[in-house]
Chains A and B, each alone.
Chain A
Amino acid sequence: GEDVEQSLFLSVREGDSSVINCTYTDSSSTYLYWYKQEPGAGLQLLTYIFSNMDMKQDQRLTVLLNKKDKHLSLRIADTQTGDSAIYFCAEIGGGNTPLVFGKGTRLSVIA
């Protein structure tokens, strides 16, 4: 079945760039998503990329997609303390399950 892998922890200094990486298995995925979860809250859709794109930029966020390697990354420029959260990568799964999530990367921003 589909599987989405991401590292569990990332620590960066305030003002630096953060790069969160994700690998997925379903090459037929049409969309890939990044969600952000702040402490005690649900998941908030952060951004997404359509599978025929290589890159998408939205203010401080840059999403890069390498379909050949099934690798997705989220870059956050000028990381702030408010960016501290868990970030989930997700792909459209096959069959009855619409989204398959990674286990989440906990980003800690050090002031």
Chain B
Amino acid sequence: DVKVTQSSRYLVKRTGEKVFLECVQDMDHENMFWYRQDPGLGLRLIYFSYDVKMKEKGDIPEGHSVSREKKERFSLILESASTNQTSMYLCASTMDRENSPLHFGNGTRLTVT
């Protein structure tokens, strides 16, 4: 089974802090994604990557950056946390973005105070 691991289940950060969310997958997937989930808004794509050192903006990239130095790891960075970034962050990966489903981690619930 594919395992996508997000390093933290819960995080509490202060406004203005730089926040790092880590995600690791163990199935040699080339494609990795970061989503944000909010009630009533569903999943919104922040950033994705189709290869090492490659990144593409999703629908809501503002205030974020990403890092993909190794194939198995995809990090999401909140440059300066704000209270409106309090949310659930979901990482996902897939082998084939055309014909395969996404496999999700358990999510990181971030609270910014």
Q: Which residues of A are interface residues toward B (Cβ below 8 A)?
A: 8, 30-31, 33, 35, 40-45, 48, 88, 90, 92, 96-99, 101-104
Rounded to whole angstroms, the CA-CA distance of A48 and B99 in the bound complex is 11
> Chain B: which residue is nearest A30 at the CB level?
B99
Whether A92 pairs with B99 at a CB distance below 8 angstroms is yes
Q: Which residues of B contact A30 (CB under 8 A)?
A: 98-99
Whether A42 pairs with B104 at a CB distance below 8 angstroms is yes
Rounded to whole angstroms, the CA-CA distance of A30 and B101 in the bound complex is 11
Is residue B74 contacting chain A, with contact meaning CB distance below 8 A? no
Whether B103 pairs with A41 at a CB distance below 8 angstroms is no
Whether B98 pairs with A88 at a CB distance below 8 angstroms is no
Q: Which residues of B contact A44 (CB under 8 A)?
A: 104
Whether A42 pairs with B99 at a CB distance below 8 angstroms is no
Whether A98 pairs with B97 at a CB distance below 8 angstroms is yes
Rounded to whole angstroms, the CA-CA distance of A44 and B90 in the bound complex is 12
Rounded to whole angstroms, the CA-CA distance of A5 and B45 in the bound complex is 17
Q: Which residues of A contact B31 (CB under 8 A)?
A: 98
| 27 pairs, CB–CB < 8 Å, chain A vs chain B | A30-B98, A30-B99, A40-B109, A41-B106, A42-B6, A42-B90, A42-B104, A42-B106, A43-B90, A43-B92, A43-B102, A43-B104, A45-B101, A45-B102, A88-B42, A88-B43, A92-B99, A96-B48, A96-B56, A97-B58, A98-B98, A98-B102, A99-B101, A101-B43, A103-B40, A103-B41, A103-B42
